[in-house]
Each structure stands twice: as structure tokens, then as C-alpha cells.
Structure 1
């Protein structure tokens, strides 16, 4: 007689999937913040209720645009975790929440795929682990980017319309706050502005005055603003303090790009007597005259210090009028000196389109212009008043005699 033995089924544990989620809203409005909280709560419940899924974190950004991933700290932390092998699957609400730039989107999705990490877009029901998913993703991402560009044009139109009607848009300045369509004075900050203007006319640098504010405990202000000594000088030439608004002084040519100086590409709007001034026009005009005087005389009164050169304070950008700064670029086993417009060195883009100029190139051009063979700081100081450099690397050397000589930078194109 046959013997039958029943073998119990082996319990197979489901594979553990480490699941993370990414949530983002683009503004800090109450409605958007509610959406942000709802996304976070949704993913927490979704991951914890699914068998085989292990919570691997929720990465978030709020009040940040989706047109570029560079400024999104939460997104970048999520990518770092994926590269470290801590994530298997990423959940996100939609393509537009993840990125609206097609190039960025596909670059990150493909990198994640190589790392073995899938992305699930809920609204579009796309799983990037499948080939069909990537094809559909490419198409939808293009639509998302087109939508972003369309929205950008709509926002630009709305901003221009405000300026045409005589209203300011999104004003952020020491001494003022925007309430609806009104710009109102913030009393404690207005007093700091007055001290900057009157102190400058009294011969005190704005950087030193700003440091005095810190020493006296006047900053942060009632609104929490910090008066940075490195930025205090920008207050002095801002016409907002005499009640004037200049609309579209800076523009952003591409969606998610860098703001640059409007040099005629778009209309500008000058709105006078727009709001209550903090500084009277006579004081403002006196400061502008003093700024120009010091700008002209500054390179004559400031001799090179130890470690600087004969060109310190004497190389000027033809676009913004600021001086070129001498910088050092370090490499693994070597370094070199170069000169770059002060505006570009501030870390807010390069609106002047100024190029970095290696010091040997600049020295060679100056020597050739002056007919000299060897560089001698004292000799150069005695001959040159200042040098003007354009973005196309055209150099105009102004001599102490008043004569000028023009040349293209050595090795420049």
C-alpha cells in the first residue's frame, strides 16, 4: 500500500522594497502648504500599509520652483540616498512635482534606473522600470515643460501689466514692506537706511555702518532682516528710497534660468512718486554724486597693498562700471591668478557676460600696449590711470596723460 506524505507549503517572504516618497509645492501660500501636508500624510499611510514595503523616508521641498532641481535640497538629499543604495522605489504625485525641465527629469530618472531605483508617478500611472514607462514619460515631460513655459509667460505678462498700471511687483527692500498693492515704511529699518545715506556723506563706508548696526544689536530688524555689510552698499543707489520704482531692470530670459541686467531686450518702467520716500531727493542726488566721485578717484587713492598688484582698483568692466577683482583658482598641485568682474564674483550669476582673464594674459596685453618687456609695478603705476575691459575682451588702456590705447586681449578671441 502506498504511503502519502504531505509536505507543507514553504512560506515565501515577500521581497523587501525600500520605498521613499518625494513631495513638493512651488509656493508658500496656505492652499499650497495644505497640499504639501496632504502629500506627506498620504505617502506615510501608503508606505506603511503595503506588505513588503519598508519606509525609506519622505523627502520634501516647499516654496521652491520645479523648473530646476539644483536649488531643491530635499530632492538632492533623496538622490544622495539613492546613490548610497538606500532606496529601491520612489513615489511622487506627478511629473510636474518631480521636475518640469525635460532634460533634468530624464537625466535623473535614467540615473535612478541605472542605480536600480524605479520612480512611480501616481497621476500619470507611469512606472519607470518599464520601457513603455520611459517612452510615455518623455512625451509627458515635454508637455509639462511646455506648460511651465506657458505659465512663465503668463506671469511675465501679469508683472508687466502691473508696471503699466503704475504698481510695483514683489518689492523686497530694507525699510519697506508690501501690503497688497501698497509699499509701506518699516520704521526701525527706515532709520537704518537714513543712517547709511547720511553716514556715507559723512565719509563712513556703508560696510562699517552696517557693522555698527550689528554691534549695536539693531540687526536682525523687527522683520528679522539682517543687514549684511557686504550688501549694504547696494542700498545707496536704489531709487526706491526716493519713492521711485524701476520695473524689469533685471529679466530672466529662460524658464529656471539666471536673472540678468535688462539691456533693452524688454521694456523698462520708471514709476515716480509711487510710494512714500525714506530719503529726500537732495540727499539721494548728493550720494549718487559722491558714489561717482569715489568711483573715479578710488583707484588713484588706493595704492596696491602687499600681495596685490599695480592693476588693483584699476581694471573696470565696461558693462556695469565695477572693478575687476583679482582671484586665485586652486587645482590639486598648482594654482593661478585671474581677474573677473566684481558683479560676477558675488555668486548671483554673470549679468555682464564678463570673462575670467588669466593674469599672464592681462599682463602680456598691457606690456604690448605700453611697449615694455618686463612687468614692473612702479613703472605700470606711473603710466596707467585705468583699464576698461568689455565682454568681447576689447581692452582700452587710459594713460595718466589722458591718452587712450585700444587692443584685444592677448590670446583672446
Structure 2
């Protein structure tokens, strides 16, 4: 038990968060110091030290000032902690209680919250847990209000970020709106053109560096007229390229709320699930057209690594699109050079099973297919499909919709039932957790039971949230089917009279092609080749 003494070594603790700044002088750092030092002098406590955290939230105890304060109390350098009120010390009522009820009495350190009338030298501090709880709820409420204001702005399509995306600049009429920065917009278009041609992120970065184009951060500092003091290599890199290629801002849409803090207590930034993103379409003029965007998205979703033609940096015509029908490995690009007496030098291009090329017959057979017959087969199939669409588009649409419906109908119903039940359980867990905290404050639940139930509820909550996110994504994919079919019909009909394949056409139309081994049946040689088209044959 603590006893009254005169030779106190006082640790004065003051804190101001960014939210407190709106309250004015009453909670300022200097005002807190003045009040607390005056109180020390009135009590005859002349041996005092000041600990300060400026601009830090009270919901976390990961603060340099409070950390030093607690360490000094443990080391005996101070034996009395003085704060203006409990909320200055902290707004997490569980952690505040751990210090004031357990740690400080154990190490013989007195704690005074002046304006709240709290002094651990007295035994009548029953009101303190309720003040702590009120402070935490107040912090939670403030956090909710700030978040609500930001989300309201985001839903209006107002940009809330610090840096305007490369290719745009803030409108002189409204800093939350964008206008195209023509000085660098062509660099953005060039980046997307390179990707549509099938080039990888690293290759695109290399080409932009070779052209001596300033990367986004360097361009930003140049336009601001200030020096970038960060230690960097001032080059484009694959991470920057990838982020830009996936940013819908370039098609005129504003997507925000993609990241946030774990909670009002934990300020660590985390990626939010896609269903929590706030997307407002057509908020500004696009730099990239939708055809280019969709082509890049399809290529990105495939996540394939293209084989380049020997002696060039260009990917081969079918690079990354061919798979062995037996083992599933990507097909490998090969060249054979032959010299004939009459024909002279002839180069044959073919593709073989990647597993066979690496490990031989023990892994798979060769599945060799030459470029010319493969190109003819694929070209014929594209023209045939395009002709069918032009002749009877409604029939083709019905066939594709029926095919999709058979795949999705039963599963969609089951997913909706599961989603409803899971969301109901999440709401129950929220109520149970709230009730558990209230019982803890009232002292009607033992500490061990409280911790055990809290851990159990939190584990189940995380599991259910993950399931909800997954189910919502599946249902969104189902709703996308009709739009995918319409896009497929629009894409394929353009090629009814095409005479030669090119890589852009293949990337736009085809997801992947399965190559079977050559065989013979009834004296006839054959080979199975299955073409899986984008938008209507996504599996695999």
C-alpha cells in the first residue's frame, strides 16, 4: 500500500494529439506544463521532470515520452506520475487500468490525474475505471467521426491523398480534382502501350530509363522546385510500373479507402478488403482508353512469363499463352536452323513442353508444335467465331449465357445463404464482445474468463470476416458474367476478315491454349488443340 511522503521525484507527463489541436489553448502542451508545475510547487515537490508526446494519439502506448516515463518509474528515477487528466495518459482503458491498478502500486509509484480527482494514494478511486472507459469511448467516437467525414468526401469523388498521381495535377479551381498534366501524360500512355504489347514490368522500367524519362517522384520534386533528400537511385522500377498499370485513376475513376489503420487503437496501416474500397467513376478526364486498360488487365490476370525471340527483346507471338495438355507446364519457344541445297538457310520456330525440355522423357513427352500450323489453326478458329457472331449474335449470346448459368446457378444460391448466415454471426460476435467488456468493467466476469472469451471471439471474427470477403468476391464475379460476354462479342466480331495474327490480337482474345501430343487414329494423324478465350473461358 502506498503511503504519503514528501520527498517525491515527480514525472510530469503532457500529451497533445492532432485531434486535440482543434480544442485550442486549454489542452496545449504549454498549458498542461504550467498547470502541473504550479501544482508541484504548491505541494512542495521541487524535484520534477517533464515527459512529452506531441501529436500522438492516446489510444496507443507506443509513444516515446510515455515509454521513457514508465521505464524511469520502473527504475526508481521517479515515484510519482502527474497528469492533467486520465485521457492525457491514455485512452485505452484496459492498458491504463493495467498501469494504474497493477504496475504502479507494485513498484511503489503514486499516480495523480489532477482534473479527474484521481490519486492512487487514496482507496476511493472506484470511479477511475469508468473514466478510463469513457475516455476510450470518446476516442473511438472521435475516430468514427473523422473517418465518416473522409469517407463522405471520398464518396463525392474528392481526392484525399497527399500526392497527385503522375500524369495529373491538382485543378487550380479545386485541389480535390484532377486535370491532365500534358507535360508527362504521354509517358503514361507509352507505359500502357508497352504493357499491351506484352512487355513485363521490369522491361518497361528499363525502356523508360533508357529514354531518360524522370520517374514520378523525381518529377514531383522538380515541379515543386525542392531537393529530394532521400537516398534513392532515381530510376523507374518494376514496383512503380506495376502500381501505375493497376491504378484506375488513369481511366478517369477515383478509387480510395484502399488502406487504413487496424483500429482506432492500433495505427498500423493495412490493406483493406476490396469490398471496402470507395470507387467513384468518371471523376476526371482519363488518360488511357478502356480498350487499352482491359487488354492490360487481362494480361495482368494471367501472370504469365513470356519467352522472348532470340536476339530481340520482343516476346514471341505465342509467348506465355501455350500449355502442355498433359502436365500443364508452359510451352518453351525453340528455333531450328537448317541449310538446304535449293532453299538455302531456313529457320523453323516451334514450341515444346517446358517440363520435357527441362527434365526429358521421364517428366513428359515433347508435344512439339510448329509456329506455322499453329498460327493457321488459331487464325481459322478466330475467323470462324467472328463469322458466327456476325451471322447470329443472339444465338451465340444465348449459348454462352446458358453455359455460364449451368456453372454458376447452384453455387451462387449456396454462396448467398452462407454469406447471410456468416454476416449474422459477425453481428452476434460484435454484441458478445461489447457485453464482455461491460461485464469486465462492472467486475462480473473473472480476468481469466474475460481473456479466454475475448481471444475466442477475436479468432472467430477474423475467420468469418475472411469468409465474407471471399463470398462477396465470388458473387461479384458471377454478376460480371453478362458484361464479360458482351465484351467478348464486341472483341471477336472485329476479326472476321483478319488475314494475319499479331500479338495484340492474341492477348486481347485468348487466355491460353492447350497443346496435346500428336497421335494417330484409323490411319489419320491428329493433334488436340484447345483454345481458351478471354472473358468466356477463364478457368485455369
> What TM-score, normalized by structure 2, do the two folds share?
0.43
- Superposition deviation, residue 195 in structure 1: 4.8
Aligned to 2:158, the other structure's residue is in SS state coil
Query: Residues 80 and 109 of structure 2 are in contact (CA less than 8 Å); yes or no, is this contact kept in structure 1?
Result: yes
Alpha-carbon distance between aligned partners in 1 of 2:117 and 2:20, rounded to the nearest angstrom? 27
Partner of 2:385: none
Alpha-carbon distance between aligned partners in 2 of 1:198 and 1:296, rounded to the nearest angstrom? 21
- Superposition deviation, residue 21 in structure 1: 1.7
Counting only pairs closer than 5 Å after superposition, residues 120-269 of structure 1 correspond to structure 2 as: 120-133=112-125, 135-164=126-155, 166-168=156-158, 170-175=160-165, 182-184=175-177, 195=187, 198-199=190-191, 202=194, 203=199, 205=202, 222=224, 232=240, 233-250=242-259, 254-257=263-266, 259-262=270-273, 264=275, 268-269=277-278
Of 62, 66, 89, the residue aligned with 1:98 is 89
- Superposition deviation, residue 97 in structure 1: 2.4
Does residue 274 (structure 1) correspond to residue 283 (structure 2)? The answer is yes
Query: Residues 158 and 177 of structure 2 are in contact (CA less than 8 Å); yes or no, is this contact kept in structure 1?
Result: no
Query: Residues 47 and 53 of structure 1 are in contact (CA less than 8 Å); yes or no, is this contact kept in structure 2?
Result: no
Alpha-carbon distance between aligned partners in 1 of 2:140 and 2:216, rounded to the nearest angstrom? 46
Does residue 58 (structure 1) correspond to residue 48 (structure 2)? The answer is no
- Superposition deviation, residue 101 in structure 1: 1.5
Of 48, 68, 77, the residue aligned with 1:86 is 77
CA 193–154 in structure 1, closer or farther in 2 if over 3 Å, else same: same
Q: Unaligned stretches of 5+ in structure 2?
A: 309-357, 365-462, 468-513, 517-540
Aligned to 1:59, the other structure's residue is in SS state strand
Query: Residues 66 and 99 of structure 1 are in contact (CA less than 8 Å); yes or no, is this contact kept in structure 2?
Result: yes
Q: Unaligned stretches of 5+ in structure 1?
A: 1-12, 302-376, 384-389, 393-399, 403-413
Query: Residues 112 and 120 of structure 2 are in contact (CA less than 8 Å); yes or no, is this contact kept in structure 1?
Result: yes
Partner of 1:297: 305
Aligned to 1:246, the other structure's residue is in SS state strand
Which protein has greater RCO, CA pairs closer than 8 Å, 6+ apart?
2
CA 184–117 in structure 1, closer or farther in 2 if over 3 Å, else same: farther
Partner of 1:19: 11
How much is the aligned-residue C-alpha RMSD, in angstroms? Answer: 4.9
Alpha-carbon distance between aligned partners in 2 of 1:113 and 1:200, rounded to the nearest angstrom? 64
Alpha-carbon distance between aligned partners in 1 of 2:246 and 2:86, rounded to the nearest angstrom? 43
Aligned to 1:132, the other structure's residue is in SS state coil
Q: Greater CA radius of gyration, 1 or 2?
A: 2
- Superposition deviation, residue 144 in structure 1: 1.8
Query: Residues 242 and 278 of structure 1 are in contact (CA less than 8 Å); yes or no, is this contact kept in structure 2?
Result: yes
The structure whose residues are more often helix, as a share, is 2
CA 184–127 in structure 1, closer or farther in 2 if over 3 Å, else same: same
- Superposition deviation, residue 28 in structure 1: 8.2
Alpha-carbon distance between aligned partners in 2 of 1:180 and 1:73, rounded to the nearest angstrom? 41
- Superposition deviation, residue 138 in structure 1: 0.9
Residue deviations 1:219-269, cap 9 Å, x none? 7563888698696343432223443123444566743346452354x5x54
